[in-house]
C-alpha cells in the first residue's frame, strides 16, 4: 500500500455557504408552500431532513496534518495540504493510533509505561484532540524510557534514548501496521537491545564492535555518536514498512545498573590509581637515570654498584612516596 493524494480543492467555505443558502431557501419554500401546494411543503421538509448530510464532508486541516480517507472500506487517498475541504460525506477518516499516546512531544496526559506507551480510555485524562483522526506530519520526539540491558561483557547497564521521527507515507502507516505508534515504540526497544549488546560499557580489550574481526576501542561511553547512529539505522530498517522516517536518535541516559554500580566505581577508581602510579614510576625512573648520568658526566663522586643501588632505592622511595620525604643528614663519611 502506497500513499496517493485525494483529489479535492479547499472549497469547504463555498460548500458551507451553499448549504446555509439551501436551508434558507427550504425555510422560505416551507412558508410559501403552505398556502400554495403540499408538494412544495413536502419538498422543503425533505431538503431540511437530508440537507445536513453534506456537512459530514467538511474537513479542516492545519499545516503539517494529513487525513487518510476510505470509502466503504476502499482507500480513496490522503489530503496533505492545509485548508477547509468538502469531500464525499460518506468518506471515513482512518487513524488507528489516534487513541495511543506516547511519552513524546505532542502527546500529553496519562502515565507512560516502561515501553513509553499509554492507551488512554477515560474522558478525565484525554485532551480535546484525542479522538481526531488526523495524522500529524510534524517531527516528534519519542522518549522511550530507560531500559536495563546487558552489554557485550554481560554487565547490566541502564540506557535511554530519544528518537526524532515523523510520518512520511500515511497509507503505509495506517494500513501496513496495526498501530504505527506502538510499532515504532516496540521497534525502538528491539533495536536498542540489539545494538547495546554489541558494545561494552567502557573500552575493553579483545572486543570487536564493528564486525570486521579486529579488536577496537568502541564502547557505549566513548562512542556515543557512533552507537546512536547505529541505533538510528537499525530502527529505520525496521520501520520503513510503516512509512516512518527516523530523523535522529540520541542517548539520553547511560549508567551501570544499581546492583553493580558500586563495584564498577571501585574498579574505575582502581584503574585510575594504577594508571597514575605507572605515570609516577615512569617519571621517577627517568629522573633517577638522569641523576646518575649527570653525576657521571660531572665526576662529582665515584659510586660503586652497591652505593648506586642504595641511591636509586632512596630516590625512588622519595619520588614515588605518597608523603613528603623526611631527609636524614649524614655528616660523616659516605663509606
Q: Three-state SS for 178? A: coil
The cell numbers describing 4, all together, are 496517493
Q: Report pLDDT for 123.
A: 37
Which helix (H) or strand (E) is 254 found in, with range? strand 244-256
Pick the residue with more confidence: 201 or 266? 201
Judged against a pLDDT cut of 60, whether residue 304 lies above it is answered with yes
Calculate ∠ Cα 4-136-104, nearest 5°.
140
Pick the residue with more confidence: 292 or 166? 166
Judged against a pLDDT cut of 60, whether residue 284 lies above it is answered with yes
Q: Report pLDDT for 125.
A: 45
Pick the residue with more confidence: 115 or 238? 238
pLDDT in tens, 50-94: 888 888 889 999 999 999 999 998 999 999 999 998 998 999 999
Question: Model confidence at 26, in pLDDT bands (50, 70, 90)?
Answer: confident
**CA separation for the pair 96, 177 (Å, rounded):** 9
The fold of 139-256 is Tetrahydropterin Synthase; Chain A (3.30.479)
The cell numbers describing 200, all together, are 561494552
> In the beta sheet, which residues pair with residue 249?
163
CB 191 within 8 A of CB 144: no
Please give the distance of CA 109 from its chain centroid, rounded to a whole number.
20
Per-residue burial over 260-270, b = 16 or more CB atoms within 10 Å of its CB, e = otherwise: eeeebeeeeee
Which letter does DSSP use for residue 5 in this model?
B
Question: Model confidence at 335, in pLDDT bands (50, 70, 90)?
Answer: low
CB 145 within 8 A of CB 103: yes
Domain boundaries, the chain: 12-93, 139-256, 263-320
pLDDT in tens, 92-129: 999 998 888 776 655 644 444 444 544 443 333 445 45
Alpha helix (H) ranges present in 137-203? 170-175, 180-196
CA 95, 98, 101, 104 torsion-angle sign: positive
Q: Three-state SS for 145? A: strand
The cell numbers describing 79, all together, are 489530503
CB 8 within 8 A of CB 84: no
Taking all residues of the chain, what is their mean pLDDT, rounded to a whole number? Answer: 81
Map grid coordinates 477518516 to a residue. Answer: 93
Pick the residue with more confidence: 245 or 218? 245
Instruction: Quote the pTM value.
Output: 0.70
Q: Report pLDDT for 334.
A: 52
Amino acid at each position: 500500500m502506497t500513499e496517493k493524494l485525494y483529489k479535492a480543492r479547499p472549497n469547504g467555505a463555498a460548500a458551507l455557504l451553499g448549504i446555509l443558502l439551501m436551508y434558507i431557501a427550504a425555510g422560505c419554500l416551507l412558508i410559501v408552500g403552505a398556502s400554495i401546494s403540499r408538494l412544495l411543503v413536502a419538498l422543503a421538509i425533505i431538503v431540511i431532513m437530508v440537507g445536513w448530510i453534506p456537512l459530514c464532508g467538511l474537513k479542516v486541516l492545519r499545516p503539517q496534518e494529513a487525513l487518510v480517507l476510505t470509502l466503504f472500506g476502499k482507500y480513496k487517498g490522503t489530503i496533505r495540504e492545509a485548508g477547509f475541504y468538502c469531500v464525499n460525506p460518506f468518506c471515513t477518516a482512518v487513524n488507528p493510533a489516534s487513541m495511543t499516546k506516547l511519552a513524546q512531544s505532542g502527546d500529553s496526559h496519562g502515565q507512560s509505561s516502561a515501553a513509553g506507551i499509554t492507551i488512554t480510555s477515560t474522558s478525565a485524562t484525554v485532551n480535546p484532540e484525542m479522538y481526531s483522526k488526523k495524522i500529524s506530519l510534524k517531527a516528534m520526539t519519542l522518549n522511550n524510557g530507560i531500559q536495563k540491558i546487558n552489554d557485550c561483557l554481560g554487565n547490566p547497564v541502564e540506557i535511554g534514548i530519544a528518537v526524532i521521527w515523523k510520518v512520511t507515507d500515511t497509507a503505509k502507516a495506517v494500513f501496513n501496521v496495526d498501530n504505527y505508534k506502538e510499532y515504532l515504540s516496540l521497534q525502538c526497544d528491539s533495536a536498542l537491545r540489539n545494538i547495546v549488546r554489541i558494545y561494552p560499557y567502557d573500552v575493553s580489550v579483545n572486543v570487536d564492535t564493528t564486525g570486521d574481526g579486529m579488536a577496537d576501542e568502541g564502547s557505549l561511553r566513548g562512542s556515543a555518536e557512533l552507537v546512536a547512529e547505529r541505533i538510528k539505522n537499525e530502527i529505520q530498517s525496521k520501520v520503513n514498512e510503516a512509512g516512518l522516517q527516523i530523523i535522529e536518535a540520541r542517548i539520553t541516559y547511560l549508567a551501570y545498573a544499581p546492583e553493580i554500580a558500586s563495584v564498577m566505581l571501585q574498579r574505575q577508581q582502581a584503574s585510575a590509581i594504577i594508571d597514575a602510579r605507572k605515570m609516577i614510576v615512569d617519571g621517577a625512573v627517568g629522573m633517577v637515570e638522569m641523576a646518575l648520568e649527570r653525576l657521571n658526566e660531572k665526576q662529582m663522586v665515584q659510586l660503586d654498584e652497591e652505593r648506586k643501588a642504595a641511591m636509586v632505592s632512596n630516590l625512588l622511595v622519595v619520588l614515588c612516596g605518597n608523603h613528603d620525604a623526611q631527609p636524614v643528614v649524614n655528616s660523616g663519611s659516605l663509606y
